[in-house]
């Protein structure tokens, strides 16, 4: 239990007596001074009188709209952190609450671990993890030896400053493969935290790391303790290119596909702004050539270089033909202009098979380049080699799954996510990561 001198006041607002009582008991045991009420009409008066450091606010209550009350609180007391709670929440409710100033959003039934973790973050009390093993321990993970490799520093690597976002931002859309409405809530994290994906309840996180890759069929997914987040590669490509090393990403099931590219994710990151942190960690520097695949078919390699670059060659029958592009990362601007706008693509002949597999349920004419046997049927290409550029986008995203930017030259021929992950595993083994 905390010392009384360090007590901070928390106000719990919920019309369910059992919820208030259990939350109050848990937080009181942790040493907090806890006030509670079922009467939402008196909340503003209580905030004025008691000056709580945090308000836990139910979103659905009789006689008052929780979102409306949130707006009033943030208007009159903008420095008061508010965490919204709901038993009927989804990612869109969470996105709406965050847009109006909520610090975070958690679901009922409230997970005690998730509640304490969120409260500590809101009050600025969360200890800075020194490795992902601590994150695994916090969420009850058993594979901490595996997790701890994620932030290990390589002595031969280059030192770089860690980065997070200046403020929280949100985005919403639809999942390409699931078809469900989804969204993202991005929160800054302290140094050495890494990139973490988390569900709305906040009780389990999955690190953006190679050890947690769940599947690579048509997209890259991450899984941990029953929580899965799909189609992470476009978003991770943006984080890789902008050098963001610490971020909490709250998501429901699948990262939104948006227009099939990463352009809107770039805008989202720039809206939040980058915050360079005092601590450093290391860039992964490729020490020798690594290669996966056969010369006559699919293959991908990486070799030492002074910069990070990707050379991709794509060969399909007409109407696609041969597409080739070489991208050298010079800055986030070069990525935003050359690679981020390139959209995902698919062939009409494959759509029926993918739909039978339960995939591409969210595919629309506006978020995917569709190709039949004669032509591209639904759009004009943004670049002559847009399909090859999109493959580069996927590679840049998948190659952030060691948790740190990479320096080396990648060359790929007709490869996909499975090949990217196989090469990444070879690099990890070779460098002893």
CATH of the domain at 393: 3.30.1700.10
Per annotation, catalytic residue among 139, 177, 234, 417: 417
Return the pLDDT at 139.
Answer: 43
On whether both 84 and 148 belong to a single domain, the answer is no
Question: What tokens does 414 get?
Answer: 């007709």
Assess whether 293 and 382 both reside in one domain: yes
293 and 238 share one domain: no
Q: Are residues 168 and 260 in the same domain?
A: yes
Domain count, the chain: 3
Contact status, residue 186 vs residue 248, Cβ threshold 8 Å: yes
Same domain, residue pair 218 and 315: no
CATH code: domain of residue 265 = 3.30.230.20
Which pLDDT value is given to residue 180? 62
Task: Give the number of residues written for the chain.
Answer: 433
Task: Encode 206-239: b = buried (16+ Cβ within 10 Å), e = exposed.
Answer: bbbbbbbbeebebbbbbebeebbbbbbbbbbbbb
Q: Does 138 share its domain with 69? A: no
Looking at the structure, tell me whether residues 248 and 321 fall in a common domain. no
Domain assignment of residue 160, yes or no? yes
Evaluate whether 346 touches 265 at the Cβ level (below 8 Å).
no
417 is catalytic: yes
Q: pLDDT 10s digit of each residue in the chain, 433 long?
A: 444 334 699 999 998 898 899 999 999 999 999 999 999 889 999 999 999 999 999 988 877 788 899 999 999 999 999 999 887 666 778 888 888 999 998 888 888 888 888 899 899 887 655 444 444 444 444 443 433 334 443 334 578 999 999 999 988 776 454 446 678 899 999 999 999 999 877 778 899 999 999 988 778 999 998 899 999 999 999 999 999 999 999 988 889 888 999 999 999 999 999 999 999 988 999 999 999 998 778 999 999 999 999 999 999 888 899 999 999 999 999 999 999 999 999 887 766 665 555 545 544 556 789 898 888 888 899 999 999 999 999 999 999 999 889 999 999 999 999 999 999 999 999 999 8
Please report whether residue 175 resides in a domain.
yes
Do 276 and 291 have their domain in common? no
Return the closest-CA partner of residue 335 out of 409, 211, 234: 234
Instruction: Let me know if residue 94 belongs to a domain.
Output: yes
pLDDT of residue 299: 97
Are 352 and 396 in a shared domain? Answer: yes
Residue 128 lies in a domain: no
Whether the bond between 346 and the residue before it is cis, its omega within 30 degrees of 0, is: no
**307 and 422 belong to one structural domain:** yes
Among candidate residues 281, 312, 329, the one where a domain is terminated: 281
Distance CA 366, CA 36 (A): 48
pLDDT score of 339: 98
Domain that holds residue 421: 285-431
Distance separating alpha carbons of residues 32 and 24, to the nearest angstrom: 9
| Side-chain half-sphere exposure of 56, counting CA atoms within 13 A | 31
Please indicate, yes or no, if residue 254 is contained in any of the structural domains. Answer: yes
On whether residue 127 sits in a domain, the answer given is no
Q: What is the enclosing helix (H) or strand (E) of 121?
A: helix 112-122
- Regarding whether 83 and 18 lie in a shared domain, the answer is yes
pLDDT at 153: 38
């Amino acid at each position: 239990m905390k010392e009384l001198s360090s007590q901070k006041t928390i106000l719990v607002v919920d019309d369910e007596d059992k919820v208030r009582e259990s939350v109050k008991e848990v937080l009181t045991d942790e040493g907090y001074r806890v006030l509670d009420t079922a009467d939402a009409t008196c909340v503003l008066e209580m905030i004025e009188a008691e000056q709580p450091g945090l308000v836990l606010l139910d979103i659905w209550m009789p006689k008052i709209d929780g979102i409306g009350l949130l707006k009033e609180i943030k208007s009159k007391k903008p420095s008061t952190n508010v965490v919204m709670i709901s038993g009927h929440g989804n990612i869109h409710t969470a996105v709406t609450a965050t847009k109006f100033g909520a610090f975070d959003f958690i679901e009922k039934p409230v997970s005690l671990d998730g509640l304490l973790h969120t409260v500590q973050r809101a009050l600025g009390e969360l200890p800075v993890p020194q490795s992902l093993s601590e994150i695994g321990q916090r969420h009850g993970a058993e594979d901490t030896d595996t997790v701890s490799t994620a932030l290990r520093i390589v002595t031969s690597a280059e030192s770089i400053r860690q980065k997070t976002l200046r403020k929280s931002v949100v985005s919403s859309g639809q999942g390409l493969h699931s078809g469900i409405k989804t969204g993202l809530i991005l929160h800054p994290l302290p140094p050495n935290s890494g990139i973490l994906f988390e569900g709305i309840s906040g009780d389990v996180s999955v690190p953006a790391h190679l050890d947690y890759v769940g599947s690579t069929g048509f997209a890259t997914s991450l899984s941990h303790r029953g929580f899965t987040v799909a189609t992470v590669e476009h978003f991770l490509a943006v984080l890789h290119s902008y050098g963001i090393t610490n971020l909490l990403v709250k998501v429901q099931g699948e990262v939104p596909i948006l227009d099939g590219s990463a352009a809107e994710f770039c805008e989202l990151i720039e809206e939040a702004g980058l915050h360079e942190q005092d601590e450093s960690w290391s860039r992964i520097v490729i020490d020798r050539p690594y290669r996966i695949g056969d010369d006559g078919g699919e293959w991908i390699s990486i070799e030492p270089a002074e910069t990070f670059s990707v050379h991709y060659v794509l060969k399909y029958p007409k109407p696609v033909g041969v597409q080739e592009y070489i991208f050298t990362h010079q800055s986030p601007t070069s990525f935003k202009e050359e690679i981020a706008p390139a959209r995902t693509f698919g062939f009409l002949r494959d759509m029926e098979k993918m739909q039978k597999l339960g995939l591409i349920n969210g595919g629309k004419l506006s978020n995917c380049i569709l190709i039949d046997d004669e032509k591209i049927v639904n759009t004009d290409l943004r670049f002559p080699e847009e399909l090859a550029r999109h493959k580069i986008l996927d590679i840049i995203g998948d190659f952030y799954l060691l948790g740190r930017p990479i320096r080396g030259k990648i060359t790929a021929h007709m490869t996909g996510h499975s090949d990217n992950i196989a090469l990444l595993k070879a690099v990890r083994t070779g460098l002893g990561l």
